[in-house]
Structure 1
């Protein structure tokens, strides 16, 4: 009780800083100004839905991973309304593009006691699912008081994060023990979570393996391939701040096949103009996706900048090989699974803690290679691009790898059916 009181006191002290943070983000990404009141669970209009099945996915990656689970929940609880909450505008936009009106979409309010109570009163969830590592003490406590079963799904916890969590165990332990159940990605994740107090822990695998790209995106990528012709295509997927200069320098120092087309897709849309300016300063002959009329790309164009939202799976379908962003600098890597599912082998940098198990499995079977810095990543990419037969074999391996690890969504669903009310 005292711990939560201190936590709430800290939250209130931080409130002006939270508001300033949103305003600063809105300078580069105006969508942060929209739906402002939802952040504090102050709603202007009555809800269209209540008695929902509620799933929380922080941002783009979690939203995409949630889609197979949402499909399964719709089948298991037909007619029951679904609520998907996010924390970022890009997550919300992704949810809208992937799911449309199939679900109610809203921001999860910040973890103030009154806000969490208003949120639960408004939507009255039958049960809730939190994707990956989302643990909010007041939210878990409010769900316990209202007897709302709450599960941590696709749960992961790296050794580094576990050490950090142990330092604030006094705060997080009640939240972890307050969960109805935890569905962990791997045995190692489960053991770390149990050490922090998690109960009813099951190892189910990674639901991100169950994601199926939209058919039209795969077809779009195949169409783009006809416009590129026989040129090798190297994709830098979901690059993070600071990684583009490192990779561009490293790729200039290796020998790529003649006329290789580099496709560069930054992770965050607010950085599109920044990366375009970087290419311009370097004198790179580039073309922005937003300016491309989908006619054949001239040979003198060496970089195609993917400054669009929601087309990553089309880029994977186009590419021969992908360097996964977020792995060059210590961001923990972006999702390598979707690339492998498209039959596009991947090169990883040293930082993969967000996808530790998937990365290790991909490396073991040969669907991925890993470099210890941008220089080695570029060298490995060049080796693969210059060896057509090895790359073709790696493509087959990547497809088999992604397919072999599917099924986590069904395992989650089977466990939920035994633990939560049925209509």
Structure 2
């Protein structure tokens, strides 16, 4: 089955390069560093006996950031490789860690490319984040003699049913994992059902609960809030196509009741920044762009068209709507605004964050809305009631505090794998 799967990847290569070229029309970085996608041009001994952490894009990179920092501190003499698959993820790795880690793109799921990568970077342990389940990558890791571990593993019911339809491909892959640190007992059961060894699966919670809000970050958020002035401020974060229109329509309703209100709008993908700026103006709303250092003081919408600042931006708002949820994307990280003690709003599409959203909802820190009218109504209710707003924010933050600890448990499992390897 994996031979057929590999043959498909080789057949798809021309189309994958074409896709990069087409995506490069809006995001030029996709037209760069193509050799890394095939692991071409590396020396055979680029690194020796390294640790390899693989994240996909910005969200996974930010989730992995505390883990990477701890690995750098605990294993200072071990080279650390961090891979992503997107330019935005690449930018985050470089901004967070600089030359303290070796960063390249993860090669595509082509056996030859993966073999070249393993030969060049010689990992002793490979840590993949969340749902990065790739049969050829897993096989290449084991063929190289390295340990393989999943951290912060999640598996929605939809994804589980998809994987279960390919047992001849998926079951051998799952059996190759030496340890799986997953978020919930339900997800642990799903991984075992797909073929993971039960004794290797550990439900330890989500490392996303272990984020920290340091004083420098708090200072930046406070300074930005001071620039906005004394008025109601809400943020719509990580929005996707099809969400900006209802978000802006909801803001129009908020403005009808509270004319001085400000919306911080944060599109998920940078190639959409100009498009969203045009959309805001088409709606008759005044806008300031953060990338141009324009003041948010006297506008109705502040377009946060920069990368890597979302966590800080949550701290400058009174409450937060998290996107990817009014459209069937599956939602994004609800814990970042919760950590700031902000009431959290979301759409109904939450299959990527089922357990976390349930915890927040049960605690009274999450409001689920289905459309622009419900979004506007919830916003107006909370913005008009400081006591309720603070109460929901504290409830959300309490969930974050109560569920910390997955990072330490994950690091212990990593230590055990390195001990076994050595």
Q: Shorter chain as normaliser: what TM range?
A: over 0.9
Q: 1:170 aligns with which of 168, 171, 174?
A: 168
Match of 1:302 in 2: 300
Distance (whole Å) between structure 2 residues aligned to residue 50 and residue 237 of structure 1? 40
Residue among 21, 35, 60 paired with 1:23: 21
1:2-151 superposed matches below 5 A? 3-43=1-41, 49-151=47-149
> Which residue of structure 2 aligns with residue 288 of structure 1?
289
Task: Return the offset for 1:118.
Answer: 0.6
Residue in 1 that maps onto 2:372: 374
SS in structure 1 opposite 2:332?
coil
Deviation track 1:34-66 (CA, whole Å, cap 9, x = no partner) reads 211000000256765321111000000000011
Contact 2:138 2:176 in 1 (8 A): yes
Tell me how far apart the structure 2 counterparts of residues 192 and 44 of structure 1 sit (CA, whole Å): 38
The 2-side partners of 1:253 and 1:233 are apart by: 14
User: Could you tell me how far apart the structure 2 residues matched to 1:291 and 1:121 are?
Assistant: 44
Deviations 1:278-309 (Å, cap 9, x if unpaired)? 01111111111123345x612xx111111111
Indicate the residue corresponding to 1:347 in structure 2: 345
Instruction: Identify the residue that residue 248 of structure 1 maps to in structure 2.
Output: 248
Q: Secondary structure at the match of 2:353?
A: helix
Q: What is the TM-score normalised by the length of structure 1?
A: 0.95
| Correspondence for 2:313 | 315
Conserved? CA contact 1:64–1:211, under 8 Å: no
Answer yes or no: is the 8 Å Cα contact 1:51–1:125 preserved in 2. yes
2:329 to 321, 328, 331: 331
Residue pair 1:218, 1:313 contacting (<8 A) in 2 also: no
Check the 8 A contact 1:54/1:125 in 2, yes or no.
yes
1:206 maps to 2:206: yes
Distance in 2 separating the partners of 1:321 and 1:256 = 17
Q: Quote the offset at 1:207 in angstroms.
A: 0.5
How far the C-alpha of 1:419 sits from its partner, in A, is 2.7
Which shifted more, 307-316 or 71-80? 71-80
SS for the counterpart of 1:216 is helix
8 Å contact kept, 2:129–2:152 = yes
Residue 75 of structure 1: CA displacement? Answer: 3.0
1:198 aligns to what SS in structure 2?
coil
CA distance in 2, matches of 1:47, 1:268: 36
Decide whether the 8 Å contact of 2:135 with 2:170 is kept in 1: yes
- Say which of 364, 385, 392 aligns to 2:390: 392
Counterpart CA distance in 2 for 1:346 and 1:378 is: 14
Equivalent in the alignment of 1:236: 236
Structure 1 residue 278 corresponds to structure 2 residue 279? yes
**Residue 368 to residue 47, structure 1, CA distance change in 2 (3 Å):** farther
Q: May I ask how many residue pairs the two structures share in their alignment? A: 418
CA–CA distance in 2 between the matches of 1:215 and 1:166? 46
- Given that 1:336 and 1:346 are in contact with CA atoms closer than 8 Å, whether structure 2 keeps it comes out as yes
> For structure 2, which runs of at least 5 residues remain unmatched after alignment?
none
Preserved contact between residue 46 and residue 121 of structure 2 (Cα < 8 Å): no
Distance 1:205 1:256, change over 3 A: farther
State the distance in 2 between where 1:45 and 1:171 align: 31
CA–CA distance in 1 between the matches of 2:304 and 2:38?
34
Ranges of 4+ aligned residues in structure 1 off by more than 6 Å:
none
Question: CA offsets, 1:332-373, max 9 Å, x none?
Answer: 111111111122221011011111111110111112111233
Residue 418 of structure 1 corresponds to which residue in structure 2? Answer: 416
Instruction: Name the SS of the counterpart of 2:61 in structure 1.
Output: helix
Task: Say whether residues 1:261 and 2:262 are aligned partners.
Answer: yes
TM-superposed deviation, 1:78: 2.8
Secondary structure of the residue aligned to 2:53 is: strand
Give the C-alpha shift of residue 160 in structure 1.
1.1
